[in-house]
Amino acid sequence: MPSAMPQALSEPALQVQDLTVTGMPSMAQIVREVSLQLQPGEVLGVVGESGSGKTTLGLALLNYCKSGTAISGGSVVVDGQDATSLTGPELQNFRGNVASYIPQSPATALNPALRIGTQLRECLNDDISRSDISARVQQVMGEVALPADKEFLQRYPHQLSGGQQQRIAIAMAFIPRPRLIVLDEPTTGLDVTTQATVLATVRELCDSYHCAAVYISHDMAVVADLVDFVAVMYSGEVIEFGPMAEVLAAPKHPYTGRLLLAVPDLYAKRPMVGIAGYAPSPMDRPAGCVFAPRCPLAIDICRSTVPPIEATGARSFARCHRIGVPLPTPEHRTHRPESETRSADALLDVRNIRGRYGKNVVLEDVSLQLRAGECLALLGESGSGKTTLSRIVAGLHTNFDGELEFDGQQLPPSSFGRTADQRRRIQYVFQDPYESLNPRRTVRDLILQPLRALKSPIAEPNRIVTEGLERVNLRGDLAGRYPDQLSGGERQRVAIARALVTKPDVLICDEITSALDVSVQSSLIELIQRLQDEMGLSLLFITHNIALVRNIAQRVAILQDGRIVELTSVEDAFAENAHPYTRSLIASTPNIAFPDHSPLEELHDEQPPAVPGPSRI
Amino acid sequence: MSVEDRASAEEQPETIQPKGRKRTGLLARSIRQRRAQVGLVLAALVILLVLLGPLFSPYSTTQFVGSPFLRSSPGTLFGTDALGRDAWSRFLGGGQTLLLLAVLATILGVGLGALMGTFAAYKGGWVDEFVMRTGDIALAFPEIVLALLFLSIIGTYLWLLVLLVAIAHLPRVARVVRGAALSVVERDFIKSAEAFGTPRWKIVLTEILPNITGTLAVEFGLRLTYSIGIVAGLNFLGLGLQPPAADWGLMINENRIGITVQPWPVVLPVIAIALLTVGTNLVTDGIARASAGIGRGVE
């Protein structure tokens, strides 16, 4: 296998050879035979869906394993030092000074009891003089674009915003001037505008310190703008590695190709395509290629023999038997939302809502209409009040002034005050399917739950459950399962099936894909679109993802700090004369631009060219 | 949505677990621990003795078989008690009432306490404040003193004894259950049930309570241990069963004057009560550990 590895150019900053991390006591290989190489100043993106082993790999680069796991083979050489052989004080010195780590959530990574200045100074060795320390602190604060004055350094983490906290975490990692820095999803949970500045900071610091960085992310679009190289992980293996531009232009592994297609395009130039099935667990891998069960190109050899690492360029490789075989046109995909809404009648009329949490006003004078058969997106960053608004409509948040009207009738604020028919016709799908399904109920019980609560007669429960599951593309035999026996995507489908079992007119989708992987997200969006067509649903689609809005909605309401700053057709929101806030959201959202004549781009050539319809508002 | 929400969704282990994963219930996981196994054997031993004992007792519990405080002899295995009755026969027949009263009081106390705690957690606001502060006041009185007070005023009725022990458990159970329920009431499936218009009492019974069974099992075991102790104690003090009934608490009281001459009528019930409480406690401890995930293995 090493012979297939690309040749070293000079002294690499990071050299990983056949690294394997094993879980105890199952002996499952969470990370399997990973080999990577990185030169100083280069940024490597590690991309993969949840459970693919990317965080485990990131931690293993610092010779750190979570309890119950251990590095069982291979080596990690950083700047000439073999990390896997270090112990005790040497290892301590290695972590931080040679290789440092920026964790996912700055809110939990910073010590809430220590001032940020103290935390920054802690990251430096004792052998540095006091004046040097404060000089370094001043310098690094400037580099992460934060004020370096005394007052600011005396603050506690909770006195900073999420973006500032993450920049402090970055400063802590960079202050000892390490040779390698591992960033584990540092921008997940940050708003797009904050994310853009954090990403720019990381890139600048890597360039100026000539430091190698490993950037772990589940979001291909974020990585595409930032990194020089990309390693795509799937079920613990790096299945493709190469320069980002090359991978974007011509992905060698079918998973990489399909993963790229699953990312929603900000301008909806191409449809979103999900990947059916789910990634195998490290305890239960298939015999041949790990991706074979989901791969559209799989042939017999893929199912029987593990593909070897095959060099595909000077510094790129893929693990696939079918390198070079073009992907077939996907069968399922989203379609571009029709620009014309089917009806001008307002089904749901929300007037002058002033929503409060306790005494805090979180929504100010919000009015919008949902027309029959349309999809209205509610777009906003965290804290903009979009979930509060959706819960007010669903009757789950009653602390507000203003009026709700549904189908010509007054809608009482609390769901308990509404008539059974009103409750039946407005259904809500929650953000996180891990939270919204009672773990003690079977899928069958969950699907029948709304019918029982509405006291509607249930003539043939078995048929209702089977139909409900089939409607969301789930097998009928899942009815006996409990939620913890389902994957995240399956759970969300059950939640959708449950909402649809009452045959509602309005479906409120509160960030229904934000807890799920992109490949699953695309399948869900596809499903929601199909169901909307079949059942004539009106959708209120709440999201923070502007690219999704473009791919599903006809109209969009943009919320900023509890006010609607723009309510317009999606085309107009993307036009030059849109509201400045909308423009800034679009500008900060990373987007994958395929190079011209990319094989992925050509997959959709037979699609009719998009003609922007006349906007009607 | 906060950073934590997304992080937790990302970290969910379920997505990497194999599909046909064997479901192992809380009890199955509890009983795999050595402590729980030992506890179960101890408790089962005493319970079997209580249930089947009377079938094997050589004499009636009230039959006089010889002079008081006789040492062991071939006819009377553990000698006689203060009034010359067979100690072994009285021991075998003296556990049923104690166990029955303790179990009844526990079911009543934990059941009502759980409902109160869950309801307080779910309703929140002034209801929560009222229930919990009333509980705080009740907590200020020691369980046994409260029971003594009412039993001596109203009279020594067994139903009153059960009720008093149950009431003594109420605030303690309610407090613990409320704590466990607080994390459940915040979850989205409760909101979802509200959106469907599920009545609130049904939400308490079918959505919240099934998700705190671990806590309930632990509370039940713990309160059972206490109930056994309190009921035996009240019997000892003469506020429960009355002579000539055979009862472990009563036996200890009646025969303690002769403990130097003939220890068996005191030692037998003491050992039984000790084994029973230690046993139930060990089982409870096992359940608590299993539901907290201790000793589950690192994966």
* DSSP per position, A414-472: SGGGS-HHHHHHEEEE-S-HHHHS-TTS-HHHHHHHHHHHTT---S-HHHHHHHHHHHT
In Å, how far is A339's CA from the nearest CA of chain B? 30
Chain A residue closest in CA terms to B192: A436
Question: Mean pLDDT lowest for which of A243-252, A333-342, A422-431, B201-210?
Answer: A333-342
Residue contact A382–B12, C-beta within 8 A: no
Amino acid at A126: D
Residues of A in contact with B6 (CB under 8 A): 188-189, 514-515
The strand pairing partners of A277, in sequence order, are none
What confidence category does residue B294 fall into, taking pLDDT thresholds of 50, 70 and 90? Answer: low
- Give me B269's structure tokens: 């019930």
In Å, how far is B23's CA from the nearest CA of chain A? 9
The pLDDT score that the predictor gives to residue A604 is 57
Chain A residue closest in CA terms to B202: A453
Tell whether B125 lies on the interface with A, counting CB pairs under 8 A: no
Residues of A in contact with B216 (CB under 8 A): none
Q: Say which of A395, A431, A486 has its CB closest to residue B1.
A: A431
Residue B8 reports pLDDT greater than 80: no
Cα separation, A582 vs A367, whole angstroms? 18
Residue B296 reports pLDDT greater than 50: no
Structural contact between residues B197 and A450, judged by C-beta atoms closer than 8 angstroms? no
The pLDDT score that the predictor gives to residue A177 is 87
The pLDDT score that the predictor gives to residue A612 is 39
The pLDDT score that the predictor gives to residue B15 is 35
Residues of A in contact with B194 (CB under 8 A): 395-396, 415-416
- Dump the DSSP string for A184-225: ESTTTTS-HHHHHHHHHHHHHHHHHHT-EEEEEES-HHHHHH
Mean pLDDT of the region B11-37: 61
Q: Say which of B188, B189, B198 has its CB closest to residue A453.
A: B198
Percentage, residues of chain A above pLDDT 70 = 93
The pLDDT score that the predictor gives to residue B21 is 40
Residues of B in contact with A437 (CB under 8 A): 189
Q: Say which of B2, B14, B187 has its CB closest to residue A484.
A: B14
Q: Say which of B15, B191, B193 has its CB closest to residue A50.
A: B15
Question: Mean pLDDT lowest for which of A128-137, A562-571, A589-598, B209-218?
Answer: A589-598
Amino acid at A340: E
Residue contact B14–A487, C-beta within 8 A: yes
pTM of the model: 0.79
- For chain B, the first-to-last Cα distance in angstroms comes to 28
pLDDT digits (tens, 9 = 90+) for B42-73: 999 999 999 998 888 888 888 888 888 888 88
> Of B95, B106, B97, nearest to B46 (Cα)?
B95
Residue contact A68–B12, C-beta within 8 A: no
Residues of B in contact with A189 (CB under 8 A): 1-3, 6-7
Chain A residue closest in CA terms to B208: A438
- Checking ipTM against 0.85, whether it exceeds it is no
> Of A428, A378, A382, nearest to A542 (Cα)?
A378
Q: Which of B11, B22, B196, B208 has the most A C-beta neighbours within 10 Å, making it the best mutation to test the interface with A?
A: B196
Structural contact between residues B188 and B150, judged by C-beta atoms closer than 8 angstroms? no
- For chain A, the first-to-last Cα distance in angstroms comes to 60
Chain B residue closest in CA terms to A481: B20
- Give me B198's structure tokens: 């599920």
Higher per-residue confidence, A466 vs A3: A466
Query: DSSP class of residue A562?
Result: T
Residue contact A283–B188, C-beta within 8 A: no
The pLDDT score that the predictor gives to residue A1 is 37
The pLDDT score that the predictor gives to residue A57 is 93
Residue contact A453–B15, C-beta within 8 A: no
Mean pLDDT of the region A300-306: 89
Rg (CA), chain A: 26
